[in-house]
Structure 1
Amino acid sequence: MSSQQKPIPNRYKFLFGGSAGCCATCFVQPLDLLKNRMQMTGPEERKKYKTSLHLMANVIKQEGVLGLYNGLTAGLLRQATYTTTRLGMYTWISDVLTFNEKPPNFALKASVGMFAGVCGAFVGTPAEVALIRMTSDGRLPPDQRRNYKNVIDALIRIWREEGVRTWWRGAVPTMGRAMVVNAAQLATYFQAKQQLLVTGRFEEGVFLHFMASMISGVVTATASLPVDITKTRLQNMKTIDGKPEFGPIEVVVNILKHEGVLAFWKGLTPYYFRIGPHTVLTFLFLEQFNAAYRKYAA
């Protein structure tokens, strides 16, 4: 067996998955902030911020350029938990299901992706709640802001002020989103990569990884945005008398009633430009980590 074919130990699959996600997040955090704020805008705010560029200009004006990186610590913790788990489990299980160097079919890839996504989402929900709140804080009046100092401060204050169960608020739609995202993102990426290689026009390398990632990003963004918007609004709401303002069904009904069905794709542009580059960068970093391991450590 050549060095290129030597299996990567499971511990490194998890390490490389989380590290790839963290590296990608450092580049796309401003897009995540814009996506979250666009999803939180109601009818009145949409009159003020008609486009993502308009919103970005306002954030820079009101909070400075570094304001675009509010919530970065939460974003990194989310990747260290969610992406470490989902990518590590996906690559590990996929290797187990590979026989005679023949990878699983698309349906099995999608199933493995959904399972890995649910596990990762449950582990990563506390960081997700902190991220949503930290990136959304700047849109509130000064007297209503939570003003978390960093992700650790956010998690401690949420625990003390609202109870530890709030760490997992929106866990069900978060896991639902993760099922959609991972079935689309992971299965589509590895399937697209496999099919592109079959054409004979591509060979293993950065350009192949880039093209497969772009295909994956388009499918993932379109399929997962409605669930993502529901999750975002659940996790950002306040706790009143020990209970959240609304439940998941109420959130969906309110969006349909007051904003229309197209509101479920509100912020599609920043969402795609967040999830697209994040998908591309995550897989590019992951592939480079894998290649470096096989070259220098295997």
Structure 2
Amino acid sequence: MAAAADTTKTRPKTSPKSIKFLFGGLAGMGATVFVQPLDLVKNRMQLSGQGSKAREYKTSFHAVASILRNEGIGGIYTGLSAGLLRQATYTTTRLGIYTVLFERMSKADGTPPNFFMKALIGMTAGATGAFIGTPAEVALIRMTADGRLPPDQRRGYTNVFNALIRITREEGVTTLWRGCIPTMARAVVVNAAQLASYSQSKQALLDSGYFRDDILCHFCASMISGLVTTAASMPVDIVKTRFLNDPPYKSDRMVHMFSDERYTQTHSICRDDVLVKVIRKEGFFSLWKGFTPYYARLGPHTVLTFVFLEQMNKFYKIYFLDS
């Protein structure tokens, strides 16, 4: 009985599931505040070559200069409200589910799941989070793309809630989940690469004996994870960006822009629609168009998200679990 009591006392305490979900969302939102300009540039670069504005941005620096010149300093934060809502829905769900499943799949002695199980958990968490976060994703893509259009063709959403209301009213509520399949496909690739590679990199760094479980270790693991994720996910990300920006109908003011850029409504990324059209018209390596701003955005976002998350978990453990 005494031994059983001692075992109970030494059993490590864990955060409530609600806290895991809350910290996941807050970490993603905090990171977005810093990297939103890079997300804007990445989206503009991926849309460069679509419709009548072919190759409008030669490089990432050219894109930044053009945005600042045409839209002002505030233009680089276009779509911030949508970016924050996306993190509040998508990241809250994916990191919360990943953390819960990771703990459940770990052995009783604390041994973590193997790499393939981590990847499977990441794919499950990512697909679920992406479905929930698709409406905010649609608003984000449209808001960040708006500035590249002539003034009379812009949608002019004032914030993410205005975007969601107008999309629902003008195009139907199902439009909020238009493109959820390529969005979920992108999330599966991102999360399988990001969450699994982060956990694996962190574990390898700790096992090397040169790192402790501190910010430096979290930073290095995040940078490795960001590089792996960027290389793996860019092709599906450009498909997702093009698909969500494309309107579901040919209105009078948009028809000339998209007359040669219509993508099928099957939500397929394998048939002769987005993926094949991009490769055929712009070349195979255009699938990695915007690599620099994508990694410049994903790298710091990955670093900041995991650093914020680790620090929140650390302080919660110190002040609430161990007190």
Alignment of 1:187-198 (within 5 A): 187-198=196-207
Q: CA deviation at 1:5?
A: 4.2
Q: 1:246 matched to which residue of 2?
A: 263
State how 1:145-160 maps to structure 2 within 5 Å. 145-160=154-169
Deviation at 1:45, TM superposition (A): 4.4
Which residue does the alignment assign to 2:104?
Answer: 96
For 2:26 and 2:87, the matched residues in 1 are separated by 8
Q: Which amino acid aligns with 2:168?
A: W
SS of alignment partner, residue 102 of structure 1: coil
Q: Which residue of the other structure, out of 73, 79, 82, is the alignment partner of 2:81?
A: 73
Whole-Å separation in 2 of the counterparts to 1:5 and 1:279: 27
Q: Which residue of 2 aligns with 1:11?
A: 18
Deviations 1:99-152 (A, max 9, x none): 111110000000000000000000000000000000010000111100001000
CA–CA distance in 2 between the matches of 1:63 and 1:236?
19
- 1:36 Cα deviation after fit: 0.2
Counterparts of 1:178-257 in structure 2 under 5 Å?
Answer: 178-240=187-249, 245-247=262-264, 248=268, 249=271, 250-257=273-280
Query: What code does the residue aligned with 2:314 have?
Result: A
Q: Unmatched 5+ residue regions in structure 1?
A: none
Show the counterpart of 1:124. Answer: 133
Q: Which residue pairs with 2:4 in the alignment? A: none
- Give, in whole Å, the separation in 1 of the partners of 2:309 and 2:9: 20
Partner of 1:36: 43
Contact 1:39 1:229 in 2 (8 A): yes
Q: In angstroms, what is the RMSD of aligned CA positions?
A: 1.7
The structure with more radius of gyration: 2
Could you tell me how far 1:256 is from its partner in structure 2?
A: 1.5
Q: CA deviation at 1:6?
A: 2.2
CA distance in 1, matches of 2:295, 2:9: 38
In structure 2, how many angstroms separate the alpha carbons of the residues matched to 1:207 and 1:3?
Answer: 29
Q: How far is 1:254 from its partner?
A: 1.2
CA contact (8 A) 1:10 1:92 kept: yes
TM-score if structure 1 supplies the norm length?
Answer: 0.96
2: CA distance, partners of 1:41 / 1:179 = 25
Contact in 2 for aligned 1:3/1:294 (Cα 8 Å): no
Higher helix proportion (structure 1 or 2): 1
Structure 2: tracts of 5 or more residues without a match: 1-7, 252-257
Q: How many residues align?
A: 297
Cα distance between partner residues in 2 of 1:246 and 1:156: 24
Q: Give SS of 2:293's match.
A: helix
Matched letter for residue 132 of structure 2: V
2:255 aligned partner: none
Give the aligned partner of residue 179 of structure 2: 170
